[in-house]
Structure 1
Amino acid sequence: MKLIDTHAHIFAPEFAEDQEDMVLRAKQAQVEQIFMPNIDNTSIEAMLALEEKHPGMCHALMGLHPCYVKEDYQQVLYEIESWFHKRTFKGIGEAGLDLYWDKTFFAQQQEVLRTQCQWAKQYQIPIVLHTRDAFKETLDIVQQQQDGSLTGIFHCFSGTVEEAHLAIEAGFLLGIGGVATFKNGGLEPVLQAVDLKHLVLETDSPYLAPVPYRGKRNEPSYLPKIAQRIAEIKSISLEEVALATTTNATQLFA
């Protein structure tokens, strides 16, 4: 059985004390690849260092997280974009919109998302979308930018069945994480209604640890717990979930 974690910030300070042990635990849990979305211009060095330590397993994505769009966003975007002239990346991210924490820079978040969608099309790589309390607003921009070549993941999907189908129609996969294991996570109807071919697995480490680790630091070795819950909801085997989601992720990030 092979698993792929499509979204984990394992370069974050939360892993400073046991980063190598954490990667080893992921391997032991049959997590063969981990995709690491960037945060802003200050997280790049740590992310690339971890990728260099574990080539073929840890993959860097490049982008600007919406919660880190501030007054200096144009300069930060310039710094981030400069990396595309130095090397290739597996994807753009973490991009998107966030109306949960702070609405101060929402217009700037929208501008940054449009720019990152354009990068995804220019470099022909997928984009990973953060949509906290902003699904409709994010989807509107994606639909405007869609020219048939834009692909990616609605990360940490926690919307309705209708929203799931809208994201899929827009050409995107759904990233399913620890929320699927929460008693009141609300994802059961979505997972029952959506075909496996539209799903990928993620942990969003160090956040949103699945049951029975809820409330603790999350890490990629917990990914089988998420896959198992999907299998239970869909009344299929864990192996079927692993094969389908690994195939989907491999094709997306090819």
Structure 2
Amino acid sequence: DEEKLREKQRQEEVFRTQIRFAKKVQKPLIVHIRDASHDAKMILLEEGAGEVGGVLHCYNADDELLSLSEQNFYFGIGGVVTFSNAKKLINILPRIPKDKLILETDGPYLTPHPHRGARNESAYTRLVAQKVSDLLESEIEDIESLTTQNSTRLFGNLIV
């Protein structure tokens, strides 16, 4: 209906404004895409968001978004990967370029198993690292090192 169309247009305008601002201040974007993969990808490309790149926060495991790795976008993997119903994410995880993989928390939500339902906290990110290392058949220390390097490359001096 017309109201939904106006809301979608408003969201697109705000998203474009945020991308332009990120480019102006030369800071990476953190983008949470839900039920809008194609539209979000097209806007990111049209606006030249690859200039600053960013994180696809809580990456939704949509194949279409994988090509954003070529536009300096990283894929944020959090507690969802530990959920028994995360089959889509588990299947696509090996296809994410390793140099574009980062670990994240979505505190206070999306707490990894076995703490699901409790308040999420940064300390639980190690559970995500363990699950990712299991799925990629890597040592946890290698995943921690890799994702730390990737985060540092993206955020540079923003990391404390």
- Shorter-chain TM range is 0.7 to 0.9
8 A Cα contact 2:29 2:53, kept in partner: yes
Is 1:180 the counterpart of 2:107? The answer is: no
* 1:201 paired to 2:103: yes
TM-aligned CA distance change 1:147 to 1:183, over 3 Å:
closer
| Cα pair 2:37 2:65 within 8 Å, conserved | no
- Residue 99 (structure 1) aligns with: none
Q: Distance in 2 between the 1:211 and 1:103 partners? A: 38
1:165 counterpart = 2:66: yes
Higher RCO structure (Cα 8 Å, ≥6 apart): 1
Distance in 1 of aligned mates of 2:146 and 2:64: 21
For the 8 Å contact 1:227–1:238, the answer to whether it is kept is yes
Q: Does 1:245 align with 2:122?
A: no
The amino acid that maps onto 2:118 is K
Distance in 1 between residues matched to 2:132 and 2:18, nearest whole Å: 31
User: Using the alignment, how far apart are the partners of 1:158 and 1:235 within structure 2?
Assistant: 22
Shift of residue 231, structure 1, vs aligned partner: 0.1
Between Structure 1 and Structure 2, the one with more helix by share is 2
| Alpha-carbon distance between aligned partners in 2 of 1:105 and 1:199, rounded to the nearest angstrom | 32
CA distance in 2, matches of 1:221, 1:106: 37
Greater Rg by CA: 1
In the TM superposition, 1:28-43 aligns within 5 A as none
The amino acid of 1:138's aligned partner reads A
Instruction: List, as ranges, runs of 4+ consecutive aligned residues in structure 1 with deviation greater than 4 Å.
Output: none
1:119 paired with 2:21, answer: yes
- 1:158–1:187 CA contact under 8 A, matched in 2: yes
Partner of 2:53: 151
Identity of aligned residues (%): 38
Deviation sequence 1:135-168 (CA, Å, 0-9, x none): 11111100101165131011100223x2242221
Change in Cα spacing, 1:103 to 1:224, as seen in structure 2 (3 Å) is farther
Q: 1:159, 1:123 → 2: CA distance?
A: 29
Say which SS state the counterpart of residue 51 (structure 2) adopts: coil
Measured in 2, the distance between the counterparts of 1:112 and 1:199 equals 27
Within-5 A mapping of 1:49-198: 105-146=7-48, 148-160=50-62, 162-185=63-86, 186-198=88-100
**Which residue matches 1:236?**
138
Is the 2:33–2:60 contact (alpha carbons within 8 Å) kept by the matching residues of 1? Answer: no
How far, CA to CA, are the matches of 2:89 and 2:50 in structure 1?
28
Answer yes or no: is 1:219 the counterpart of 2:131: no
TM-score, structure 1 as length reference:
0.57
TM-score by length of 2: 0.88
- 2-structure distance, mates of 1:221, 1:204: 12
The structure with more strand, counted as a fraction of residues: 1
